[in-house]
Amino acid sequence: MLTCKDVSFKISKSLDIKLSLSERIMVKTHLLMCKSCRRFSSQMQLLHIHSKDNKMFLDNLEEQPKENLPEDARQRIMRRLDKLLY
């Protein structure tokens, strides 16, 4: 049986790579019994999805023509976004 610490590690790992079948079964079994780990898993999935969305937004912002916005204003926006995201 996996501990909550083991499961949290595997949940984080699963966001980057596919877990083996046995790992997935062990994690799902644990999640059936552990409300805290289910909550952690949901939160990690939401963070993962939103971080991808924010990265795409920032990448698109970088591609925008710079002449439409003064460089100092652009830098202020980027610093503000960095504070909000990280």
Q: What is the pLDDT of residue 4?
A: 96
Q: pTM here?
A: 0.60
Delimit the domains of the chain by residue range: 4-85
- From residue 74, alpha-carbon distances to 11, 21, 48, 54, 82 in Å are 37, 47, 26, 17, 12
User: Residue 25: what residue type?
Assistant: I
pLDDT in tens, the chain (86 residues): 899 999 999 999 998 899 999 999 999 999 999 999 999 999 998 888 877 766 666 666 666 555 677 888 888 888 888 777 65
Nearest Cα to Cα of residue 22 among 42, 2, 51: 2
What DSSP designation does 64 have? S
Q: Which two tokens stand for residue 79?
A: 């610093």
